[in-house]
Amino acid sequence: MPSAHDIYDEAVALRDAGDKPAAVAKLEEAVALEPDFALGHGMLAKLNADLAEVDKAIFHAKRVVELEPDDAFSYTALSVIYQRCGKIPEAEHAKAIAFNKQMGLD
Protein backbone atom coordinates (compact mmCIF):
# COMPACT_ATOMS: atom_id res chain seq x y z
CA MET A 1 0.00 0.00 0.00
CA PRO A 2 1.47 3.39 -0.95
CA SER A 3 2.16 5.93 1.77
CA ALA A 4 0.74 9.46 1.85
CA HIS A 5 4.14 10.69 0.66
CA ASP A 6 4.08 8.27 -2.29
CA ILE A 7 0.60 9.46 -3.25
CA TYR A 8 1.77 13.07 -2.86
CA ASP A 9 4.57 12.38 -5.34
CA GLU A 10 2.00 11.02 -7.80
CA ALA A 11 -0.06 14.18 -7.32
CA VAL A 12 2.99 16.36 -8.03
CA ALA A 13 3.55 14.48 -11.29
CA LEU A 14 -0.09 14.98 -12.27
CA ARG A 15 0.08 18.68 -11.41
CA ASP A 16 3.30 19.05 -13.39
CA ALA A 17 1.61 17.35 -16.34
CA GLY A 18 -1.16 19.97 -16.15
CA ASP A 19 -3.90 17.79 -14.67
CA LYS A 20 -4.80 19.72 -11.54
CA PRO A 21 -8.16 17.98 -10.96
CA ALA A 22 -6.45 14.57 -10.97
CA ALA A 23 -3.75 15.93 -8.66
CA VAL A 24 -6.46 17.11 -6.26
CA ALA A 25 -8.06 13.66 -6.31
CA LYS A 26 -4.70 12.04 -5.48
CA LEU A 27 -4.04 14.51 -2.67
CA GLU A 28 -7.46 13.81 -1.23
CA GLU A 29 -6.43 10.14 -1.11
CA ALA A 30 -3.22 11.12 0.70
CA VAL A 31 -4.96 13.18 3.39
CA ALA A 32 -7.64 10.52 3.80
CA LEU A 33 -4.86 8.03 4.46
CA GLU A 34 -2.99 10.43 6.75
CA PRO A 35 -5.28 13.25 7.99
CA ASP A 36 -2.39 15.13 9.62
CA PHE A 37 -0.36 15.27 6.39
CA ALA A 38 0.31 19.02 6.32
CA LEU A 39 2.19 18.94 3.02
CA GLY A 40 -0.81 17.36 1.31
CA HIS A 41 -3.21 19.89 2.81
CA GLY A 42 -0.92 22.69 1.67
CA MET A 43 -0.91 21.57 -1.92
CA LEU A 44 -4.66 20.97 -1.78
CA ALA A 45 -5.08 24.58 -0.67
CA LYS A 46 -3.01 25.87 -3.59
CA LEU A 47 -4.59 23.64 -6.23
CA ASN A 48 -8.14 24.29 -5.03
CA ALA A 49 -7.42 28.03 -5.19
CA ASP A 50 -6.15 27.55 -8.75
CA LEU A 51 -9.40 25.74 -9.58
CA ALA A 52 -11.54 28.46 -7.92
CA GLU A 53 -12.72 26.05 -5.22
CA VAL A 54 -12.63 28.80 -2.59
CA ASP A 55 -14.13 26.96 0.37
CA LYS A 56 -11.93 23.91 -0.17
CA ALA A 57 -8.81 26.05 -0.59
CA ILE A 58 -9.46 27.89 2.65
CA PHE A 59 -10.34 24.69 4.51
CA HIS A 60 -7.03 23.06 3.60
CA ALA A 61 -4.96 26.19 4.27
CA LYS A 62 -6.56 26.48 7.71
CA ARG A 63 -5.84 22.80 8.32
CA VAL A 64 -2.14 23.42 7.71
CA VAL A 65 -2.19 26.19 10.32
CA GLU A 66 -3.91 23.83 12.77
CA LEU A 67 -1.24 21.20 12.14
CA GLU A 68 1.70 23.63 12.23
CA PRO A 69 0.60 26.48 14.50
CA ASP A 70 4.13 27.70 15.21
CA ASP A 71 5.19 27.89 11.56
CA ALA A 72 5.11 31.45 10.22
CA PHE A 73 5.11 30.18 6.63
CA SER A 74 1.84 28.31 7.26
CA TYR A 75 0.20 31.63 8.13
CA THR A 76 1.81 33.32 5.14
CA ALA A 77 0.39 30.61 2.88
CA LEU A 78 -3.03 31.01 4.54
CA SER A 79 -2.81 34.75 3.89
CA VAL A 80 -2.05 34.16 0.21
CA ILE A 81 -4.96 31.72 -0.13
CA TYR A 82 -7.33 34.18 1.55
CA GLN A 83 -6.11 36.94 -0.75
CA ARG A 84 -6.53 34.81 -3.88
CA CYS A 85 -10.03 33.92 -2.71
CA GLY A 86 -10.97 37.60 -2.25
CA LYS A 87 -11.01 37.53 1.55
CA ILE A 88 -8.77 40.53 2.18
CA PRO A 89 -9.46 41.20 5.90
CA GLU A 90 -8.77 37.53 6.65
CA ALA A 91 -5.62 37.69 4.51
CA GLU A 92 -4.36 40.71 6.44
CA HIS A 93 -5.04 38.99 9.76
CA ALA A 94 -3.13 35.86 8.75
CA LYS A 95 -0.30 38.04 7.42
CA ALA A 96 -0.09 39.83 10.78
CA ILE A 97 0.12 36.52 12.63
CA ALA A 98 2.89 35.36 10.26
CA PHE A 99 4.80 38.58 10.88
CA ASN A 100 4.45 38.23 14.65
CA LYS A 101 5.68 34.65 14.52
CA GLN A 102 8.65 35.63 12.37
CA MET A 103 9.55 38.40 14.80
CA GLY A 104 9.03 36.20 17.86
CA LEU A 105 6.23 38.43 19.12
CA ASP A 106 3.66 35.77 19.90
pLDDT in tens, 38-94: 999 999 999 999 999 999 999 999 999 999 999 999 999 999 999 999 999 999 999
Q: Could you give the CA distance from residue 85 to residue 82 in angstroms, rounded to a whole number?
A: 5
* Angle at alpha carbon of residue 95, lines to 90 and 100, rounded to 5°: 130
Tell me: the pLDDT tens digits for 80-101?
A: 999 999 999 999 999 999 999 9
Are 21 and 29 within 8 A, CB to CB?
no
Global pTM value:
0.93
Tell me: the pLDDT tens digits for 8-24?
A: 999 999 999 999 999 99
- How many domains does the chain fold into? 1
Domain hosting 95: range is 4-103
* Angle at alpha carbon of residue 57, lines to 62 and 80, rounded to 5°: 75
Instruction: Tell me the CATH number at 91.
Output: 1.25.40.10
